[in-house]
Structure 1
Amino acid sequence: MPTNPLQGAEFVLAAHRVNQLPADEGAEVAFAGRSNAGKSSALNALTGQKGLARTSKTPGRTQQMVAFSLPVVVRGETSQPVETRLIDLPGYGYAKVPDALRDHWRHEIDKYLHVRRSLRGVVLIVDIRHPLKEFDRMMLDFCLGTLLPCHVLMTKADKLSRNQAGQALATLRKDLGASSAITMQVFSASDGTGVDEARAAVMTLLEGDVRADVDIGRHW
């Protein structure tokens, strides 16, 4: 396995609806977060490709579900090798878009989380400088309620001192309590803080067990 197991990620397609995504087989990890939390920058840093995910000074540029294939292969339910993917979910809560499109994103993200059997876990992007937002808490509650593993990247840690970043991490751990379903770390795409740790976390998610069926009737 190469030093960076996520290197070589390639764009596959951008989907407006869940049923337009690649076939629901193999293993995938979804990246979620508010539009201004640094999700695209995190994806680029983790894959080692500056232009893989679009970054912009204008939050909300990711307006579809974007699928990226990965070169790594993990084991499936039958111990046979399966293909792996990253799914970049639309940034939520900040973009200046029509209400109808915002509602569409919310519905499709909810549907995606409930129905995708290949989904092995979520990487939730949050800005370390700010408290958790409503969307962040809904995502964490969903993961806890369905035992879907979630790894929280507290981004933009370079904007704080090391002591401040450590305190923010400790505060979040205390806030969320002990749960095997939720892990978290300090991260910065700008200076590389936590990048190797985050790559390992993504691989752990991809190699995790196939998720149990969830209550599809439970919506946000």
Structure 2
Amino acid sequence: MKIVEASFLTSAQSINDSPSPDMAEVAFLGRSNVGKSSLLNTLTNRKGLAKSSSTPGKTQLINYFDIKFKTKSEELPYLFARFVDLPGFGYAKVSKGLKKDWNKNLTGYLEQRPCLQVFVHLLDARHPHLEIDKNVDEFLEVIKRGDQKIIHAFTKIDKLKQNDLAKLKRAYPEGIFISNLKKRGMIDLQNAITEHLFGNQIF
């Protein structure tokens, strides 16, 4: 199975103006500047799909993308899902009022979106133990429904020494280890997503 089409659908400020929850969704979340936009572009093989900003924290909208997967089945040649690019969290330079609304909209989406099936929590491989990421993990574990899955994807592994990467893999045996630069880990990430979304329908 592979992604054959990826297209921008819409942006929303909150769950209230989000598209109809008629399709399984995969939410990508992480600290500002963790490489989320680059990962989405590499994963979907679309260079300009997710817009990255030179100013961390600038993106404050929930961005929705329609994703089309090609299977090897003649009976069910295509499967569909929606990727959701969430605003980066933990950026200190936005105003307190904006940050409050921003966090409220993020948690509202994460807690209340009925079609949300997968959380992809992106972590910088060089800083895997930050307090803010621990807090996010604890929050996701509390709100996670039985039909949802949390995937930990460690970005920027090309910046690690091999022994440090080996330690990280031992510490997180179920983690997925990503290098946008070298396109490493993308198949692993896609497989983890599609196995949960489609189960035995993977061909």
Q: TM-score, normalised by structure 1?
A: 0.78
Q: Does 1:156 align with 2:156?
A: yes
Please state how far the C-alpha of 1:28 moved relative to its aligned partner: 0.5
| Aligned partner of 1:103 among 69, 92, 100 | 100
RMSD over aligned Cα, in angstroms?
2.2
CA contact (8 A) 2:12 2:61 kept: yes
CA contact (8 A) 1:152 1:184 kept: yes
Please state how far the C-alpha of 1:172 moved relative to its aligned partner: 4.0
CA contact (8 A) 1:73 1:84 kept: no
Residue segments in structure 1 that go unaligned for 5+ positions in a row: 75-80, 174-182, 209-220
1:1-220 equivalences in 2 (<5 Å):
1=1, 4-5=2-3, 7-72=4-69, 83-94=80-91, 96-145=93-142, 146=144, 147=146, 148-172=148-172, 183-207=174-198
CA contact (8 A) 1:33 1:126 kept: yes
Taking the aligned partners of 1:72 and 1:23, their CA distance within structure 2 comes to 20
CA contact (8 A) 2:23 2:115 kept: yes
Give percent identity, aligned residues only. Answer: 36
Partner residue in 1 for 2:75:
none
1:144-188 CA-to-partner distances (Å, cap 9, x unmatched) read: 333431111100000012322121232345xxxxxxxxx412111
CA contact (8 A) 1:14 1:65 kept: yes
Taking the aligned partners of 1:93 and 1:189, their CA distance within structure 2 comes to 22
- The 1:71–1:131 alpha-carbon spacing in structure 2 relative to 1, beyond 3 Å, is closer
- The 1:73–1:101 alpha-carbon spacing in structure 2 relative to 1, beyond 3 Å, is farther
Taking the aligned partners of 2:165 and 2:59, their CA distance within structure 1 comes to 27
Taking the aligned partners of 1:57 and 1:169, their CA distance within structure 2 comes to 30
CA contact (8 A) 1:70 1:86 kept: yes
Please state how far the C-alpha of 1:94 moved relative to its aligned partner: 2.0
Residue segments in structure 2 that go unaligned for 5+ positions in a row: 72-77
CA contact (8 A) 1:60 1:91 kept: yes
Please state how far the C-alpha of 1:95 moved relative to its aligned partner: 5.6
